[in-house]
Amino acid sequence: MKLQNSASEFEDSYSEFAVYNSSGRLLQGSERFKETWEYFELAKQLDIKRSALYAEFREHELLLGCSLLVKIRKGREERVVFIEYLPKEAVTEAPGWINKLYADAKSRTEGLQSIRYQVIGLWKEGDIFDLSIPKSPKSSKNPKNPKDLKSPKNSASPKNLESAGNFPDCLERKVLSREGVSILTQDLSSGLFLLAGLIFNLKPVLFPGFSLALSLYPS
């Protein structure tokens, strides 16, 4: 995935963002993020879990976030958290909105005046620049190999879901029934592909407060 300015696809007028350090301190952000414990706690959780993508449904918006691996210019590696609001209609079938999230995260983080950071990855160095997400999340309705998705203990079993029908369809039904579901994906791109499809397909019906996350260390 090439990170580039996506201003041609999205207007900046509704882009409200915040950048936090690993302890949850706000480094820079829009007014709605200031002096609000809700975002402070969220930033800490995204850092602890190493969340490559977090999406929480609000009334007419999506709250998106990610934990970034950064390097101080000519210095050590650290982690920061980027959070951004987008209107639901900005989440399209094409993955441009994911590209926008990471492009915004990179440009806003590297544009900080208080400290000079270089964004180098999500879970490990270089992975943010090597993402491979199909153009149409809708194609996740027919994954080539559902067994690439494995289930940790006390989570939904892809084998059982597959036996009941198409894997993503069954997963969507479990999400809509408000069941907690954890899936272990083969790699970062596969996880983003699955999550992007779920978010796009379910955004008209999911209730406010519902969240989905792709994390290296999920709870």
Same domain, 108 and 62: yes
The pLDDT of residue 148 is 39
pLDDT at residue 5 is higher than 90: no
Instruction: Quote the tokens at residue 89.
Output: 């209609």
Domain boundary among 131, 151, 174: 131
Give dist(CA 67, CA 105) in Å, integer: 9
Instruction: Name the E strands within 13-76.
Output: 16-21, 26-29, 51-57, 61-72
Residue 210 lies in a domain: no
Position with higher pLDDT, 121 vs 186 = 121
**Is 68 or 8 the better-scoring residue by pLDDT?**
68
| Predicted pLDDT of residue 218 | 85
Is the pLDDT score of 81 beyond 90?
yes
**Phi, psi dihedral angles at 63 (to 5 degrees):** -95, 115
Residues 163 and 199 in one domain: yes
Most confident of 3-17, 52-66, 168-182: 52-66
Which residue in the block uniquely carries the two structure tokens 């579901």? 181
Cα dihedral 202, 206, 210, 215, rounded to 10, equals: 0
Residues 114-156 pLDDT 10s = 999 999 999 999 999 998 876 654 544 444 443 333 333 334 4
CA torsion angle for 52, 54, 55, 58 (degrees, to 10)?
A: -150
**Quick one: how far is CA 80 from the chain centroid?**
14
Burial class from Cβ neighbours inside 10 Å (0-12, 13-18, 19+) for residue 41 reads exposed
What local confidence, expressed as pLDDT, does residue 167 receive?
A: 59
The answer on 126 and 20 residing in a single domain is yes
Q: Are residues 98 and 189 in the same domain?
A: no
pLDDT value, residue 126: 96
Q: Which amino acid belongs to residue 59?
A: E
Overall average pLDDT of the 49-53 stretch: 97
* Cα 167-205-18 angle, rounded to 5 deg: 95
CATH number at residue 44: 3.30.450
Residue 119 lies in a domain: yes
Amino acid at 174: K
pLDDT for the residue numbered 150: 39
Q: What is the mean pLDDT of the chain?
A: 81
Q: Which of 131, 148, 169 is the last residue of a domain?
A: 131
Measured CA to CA, the distance from residue 213 to residue 99 in angstroms comes to 17
Shared domain for 157 and 120, answered yes or no, is no
Q: Give which of 192, 208, 148 is closest to 51, Cα–Cα.
A: 192
11 and 102 co-located in one domain: yes
CB within 8 Å of 196: residues ≥ 6 apart = 95, 98, 133, 137, 140
Same domain, residue pair 55 and 121: yes
Same domain, 5 and 80: yes
User: Domain tally for the chain?
Assistant: 2
Residue 88 near residue 64, CB atoms below 8 Å: no
User: Are 20 and 58 in a shared domain?
Assistant: yes
Distance CA(60)–CA(74), nearest Å, equals: 42
The pLDDT of 161-172, averaged and rounded, is: 55
- Give the domain range for residue 165: 134-205
Do 108 and 184 share a structural domain? no
CA 140 to centroid of chain Cα atoms: 17
- Tens digit of each residue's pLDDT (9 = 90 or more) over 189-205: 989 988 998 888 888 88
pLDDT score of 41: 95
Judgement on whether residues 124 and 32 belong to the same structural domain of the protein: yes
138 and 127 together in one domain? no
pLDDT attached to residue 57: 92
- Does 174 score more than 50 pLDDT? yes
